Amino acid sequence: MPGLYILAGLILLLFCLQVRSVYVPCGIILYITKKILERKGVDFMTWQEVQKKVIESLNSEQKKWLKSKVNLEVDNLKKYTTEEIYKIFPGRPKVNAQGVKVSTVNDSSFIYTFIWQCWLMITAHELMAMKGNLRSFWYKELRPIFKKHNLLDKDEGPPVRSRYRSESPREIYILDRMSKIFDQFVLRGFFKFKDEFEFQDPREAFRIIGRKNPRFIFFTEKEGLFWFCEKVAKELGITAIASHGEPGLLTMEYFSEELKKRKVKNIVLACLTDYDPWGYNIAQSFKEKLEEPVFGFKVEFTNLSKNIDDIYDPAVVEEKKRDLSKVSASKKKQVDDWMVETNGIHGERYGMHVDNADFEKVWKAIEKWYKENKRNS
């Protein structure tokens, strides 16, 4: 079988060299490859046949969840008209500015079904793997079908922050939904980011797997502190990872695979984040993601940022503390909960960016954490 794929690849290479001045779409290349292999006796299943086999292999919980999220009865979504899409995935009717009730599309149901079909088609060799990151899927597949049916010319969905200013609030919202839906498929064991889709991890350069004790992990939410990760990894021989806020599940998947290659099962984790509700939640989330059944680690957790006196100079705290009393109404409860856990700064609603920590104190805190846990392990 591998020899047939190599043969097909060589034929395709010769074909591309002959038409090197002409752009050949990936879909055409994939179609030609399949035809070459079919003539050599390779039997391909259609994506619908793959779907049938996959569903047969699922456990009862997976089947129930899949049927609640994905329309398993429809044909290839790319074949439908806009009118048909609205009928298949009806959303809640809205009243427009003129007071007229108009139809909408259920974004989540549509995206769940579209991602599911794309995965099946890649598995059946009817669609090329993405190769890039999640945005590659957005630009190659999801955004074009939303544009085709004018589904981006809407205003449904709450506002979501983005670093990409060129995108409309509607696009940002759909991107966020897409990412969360991919996460759900992965967490429930339907597929991995790195397998059929071949998504790449954009954060690979910001982690070091420990040489001596890879199961000891130092995590910080600040990629600007990767220099400190390098120091920790070099001097203690442990794993160190710097993020850009909360790590995405794609990064966690790659990270967990690297740890498992080093036979890691039980993790001893220390987190260094901003001293505020959001840093606190990022540390908790990182721990909880490692404990997800799909990754399966047991985690002993230490939050190095929980006690402000341990890692900050008092004079710097007084000068650079952040006022958390003037946050928006939507963030007030987060601050309230965090105050119960930490008492803020001397009972007041203030926080600190971890960039302003005293890194000599941080280093001593890490050494203490490492020595105590190594002795007890």
Do 174 and 289 fall into the same domain?
no
Instruction: Establish if 200 belongs to a structural domain.
Output: no
- Residue 141 domain-assigned (yes or no): yes
Domain that holds residue 115: 47-187
Chain centroid offset of residue 42 CA = 35
Q: Verify that 225 and 209 share a domain, yes or no.
A: yes
Whether 328 is in a domain gets the answer yes
pLDDT above 70: residue 13: no
Q: Does residue 173 sit in the same domain as residue 89?
A: yes
In a domain, 193, yes or no: no
Distance from C-alpha of 23 to C-alpha of 21, rounded to nearest angstrom: 7
pLDDT of residue 94: 79
Please tell me whether residues 33 and 70 are part of one structural domain.
no
pLDDT band at 49 (very low <50, low <70, confident <90, very high): very high
Q: What pLDDT, on the 0 to 100 scale, is given for residue 168? A: 81
CA 25 vs CA 32, 128, 144: distances in Å = 11, 11, 16
Domain end among 159, 187, 215 = 187
Considering the domain architecture, whether residues 130 and 244 belong to the same structural domain is answered as no
Q: Is the pLDDT of residue 149 over 60?
A: yes
Contact indicator for 58, 98 with CB cutoff of 8 Å: no
* pLDDT score for 166: 57
CATH number at residue 291: 3.40.1360.10
- In the predicted model, is pLDDT for residue 4 greater than 60? no
Q: Is the pLDDT of residue 159 over 50?
A: no
pLDDT for 34 equals: 52
Judge whether 17 lies within some domain. Answer: yes
The confidence band for 61, taking pLDDT boundaries of 50, 70 and 90, is very high
Q: Report residue 263's pLDDT band, with 50, 70 and 90 as the boundaries.
A: very high
131 pLDDT more than 60:
yes
The token duo for 292 is: 């997800």
Give the mean model confidence (pLDDT) for residues 354-366. 97
Strand pairing category for 350-351 and 298-303: unpaired
Point out the least confidently predicted range of 94-98, 174-178, 251-255, 335-339: 94-98
- Tell me: do 157 and 18 sit in the same domain: no
Q: Using pLDDT thresholds of 50, 70 and 90, give the confidence band for residue 86.
A: very high
Q: What confidence category does residue 20 fall into, taking pLDDT thresholds of 50, 70 and 90?
A: very low
Provide the pLDDT for residue 43: 56
Instruction: Quick: pLDDT tens for 104-114.
Output: 899 999 999 99
Q: Do residue 217 and residue 89 come from a single domain?
A: no
Structure tokens at 121: 């088609």
80 lies in the same domain as 151: yes
Q: Identify residue 226 by its one-letter amino acid code.
A: F
27 in the same domain as 54: no
Q: What is the pLDDT of residues 300-341, one digit of tens each?
A: 999 999 989 999 999 999 999 999 998 998 899 999 999 999
More confident residue, 60 or 160: 60
Check residue 90 and report its DSSP letter: B
* 232 located within any domain: yes
Instruction: Report CA torsion sign: 68, 177, 137, 285.
Output: negative
Do residues 63 and 100 both lie within one domain?
yes
- Secondary structure (DSSP) of 42-85: PPPPPHHHHHHHHHHHS-HHHHHHHHHHS--S---GGGS-HHHH
Q: Taking the model in full, what pTM does it have?
A: 0.84
Q: Please determine, for residue 92, whether its predicted confidence score (pLDDT) is greater than 90.
A: no
- Confidence bin at 11 (pLDDT 50/70/90): very low
Whole-number mean pLDDT of the chain? Answer: 88
Q: How high is the pLDDT of residue 375?
A: 85
**pLDDT at residue 3 in the model:** 52
Two structure tokens written together for 357: 């920590």
HSE at residue 197, side-chain half, CA atoms within 13 A, is: 26
Domain C-terminal end among 131, 158, 187 = 187
The per-residue pLDDT for 7 is 47
Question: What per-residue confidence (pLDDT) applies to 376?
Answer: 80
| Residue 162, pLDDT score | 45
Give the number of domains in the chain. 3
Residues 297 and 154 in one domain: no
Q: Which of 134, 158, 187 is the last residue in one of the domains?
A: 187
Task: Reply yes or no on whether the pLDDT at 294 is more than 60.
Answer: yes
Tell me the C-alpha distance between 246 and 248, whole Å: 6
- pLDDT band for 98, please (50, 70, 90 cuts): confident
- 157 and 265 share one domain: no
| Region for residue 125 given its phi and psi (left: phi exceeds 0; alpha: psi -120 to 50; beta: otherwise) | left
For residues 170-183, average pLDDT: 95
Nearest residue to 252 (alpha-carbon basis) of 190, 189, 185, 193: 193
Q: What is the pLDDT of residues 211-222, one digit of tens each?
A: 999 999 999 999
Find the mean pLDDT for residues 43-52. 90
Q: 207 is written with which tokens?
A: 């982690």
